[in-house]
Structure 1
Amino acid sequence: MAETYEKLLEDSIDIAAPADRVWALVTDIPRMSKWSPQVVKSTVKGGEVKLGATFSNLNKQGIKRWPTAGKVVRFTPPADGATGDFAFKIRENRTVWSFELAPTADGGTRLTERRETPQGISNVSLVLTKAVLGGQKGFTEELRRGIRQTLEKIKAEAEA
């Protein structure tokens, strides 16, 4: 029997910084390794992060390393108090990771990070997660902690 997985992982944090500053951080894919505990390195093909841009990641869990490929599928910068949305899809497992930026009443930004599975998770990814990464339950908890750490590190940098 295949292990089940959570269709949505999500967490938010309020940041005392304007949305354009937060946007500049979350869309800087090559710097994601600075904030995400799972990312070792990211390289954007052509160097420019925009809708349709593709990139490669090297991810980690302890001493284990694995590559993934992503594509930017949503790129809507925040403007005039409107919500911003940045998302990318990971080819190997079909998950969509996103950052939503919403204005707060005090002039700051509420940043929400999500991992969604609108097309499910690929069978290859499910099998590898079970065999190599500790199973869905443990890996999901690791992803949750990673999302929180990522949000906290982005907040610290945006507020510095």
Structure 2
Amino acid sequence: MPNNLEASIDIAASPEKVWSVLADLRRMPEFSPTTWKVIALGGVRVGTFTINVNKDGWRVWPTSSRIVAFEPNKTVAFRMNENRTVWRYELTATANGTHLVETRTVDPKGIPAPVRAVVSAALGTEEQFEAALVSGMQETLARVKTAAER
């Protein structure tokens, strides 16, 4: 059974500054090691449909999502259409800036069996895949931190 995943980081910048980095979805390829492109179809808000192109080494694959939460300076979340997971960024003001948390939450129904089979065939075991996701989340947050602290 796939697990919920989480990574977090403290950033020496205001939530508004961190938000300005995260809310520009065109910049996601700068931060995420597996995101090649994000195209928001329409304005960025709850309900917006996105087309995403992902990469891992020589493997490239498309995904799509719908923005399910968009609260400026606080949260943005996407529900992936293919596997029903929700990717969320939560910003919390701290005395020194912002605490940023990235999560991947698995739908209570789980990830569809055909998607799990493709992941296993193309990207390794579920454990390997999730370890790579957590590593990618940590890298993403570190890159957001660098951009926001500039």
Fold shared, TM-score > 0.5 on shorter chain: yes
Q: 2:2 corresponds to which residue?
A: 5
Q: Is the 8 A contact 2:15 2:91 kept in 1?
A: yes
Deviation at 1:110, TM superposition (A): 0.3
CA RMSD of aligned residues (A): 1.0
Q: Is the 8 A contact 2:87 2:103 kept in 1?
A: yes
Query: Partners of 2:39 and 2:71 in 1: how far apart?
Result: 21
What is the TM-score of this pair, normalised by structure 2?
0.95
Matched, 1:24 2:20: yes
Query: Partners of 1:98 and 1:124 in 2: how far apart?
Result: 24
Q: Is the 8 A contact 1:85 1:101 kept in 2?
A: yes
Letter of the aligned partner of 1:56 in structure 2?
I
Deviation at 1:51, TM superposition (A): 1.0
Deviation at 1:118, TM superposition (A): 2.5
- Choose which of 55, 63, 69 in structure 2 pairs with 1:60: 55
What is the TM-score of this pair, normalised by structure 1?
0.90
Deviations 1:41-87 (A, max 9, x none): 111112x2111111100111110111000110011123xxxxx1110
Matched, 1:130 2:120: yes
Query: Partners of 1:124 and 1:152 in 2: how far apart?
Result: 33
What does 1:10-159 correspond to in 2, within 5 Å? 10-46=6-42, 48-78=43-73, 84-106=74-96, 108-119=97-108, 120-159=110-149
Query: Partners of 1:15 and 1:87 in 2: how far apart?
Result: 19
Look up the SS of the partner of 1:115 in the other structure: strand
The runs of 5 or more residues in structure 1 that have no matched partner are 79-83
Runs of 4+ in structure 1 deviating by more than 6 angstroms, as ranges, are none
Deviation at 1:25, TM superposition (A): 1.3
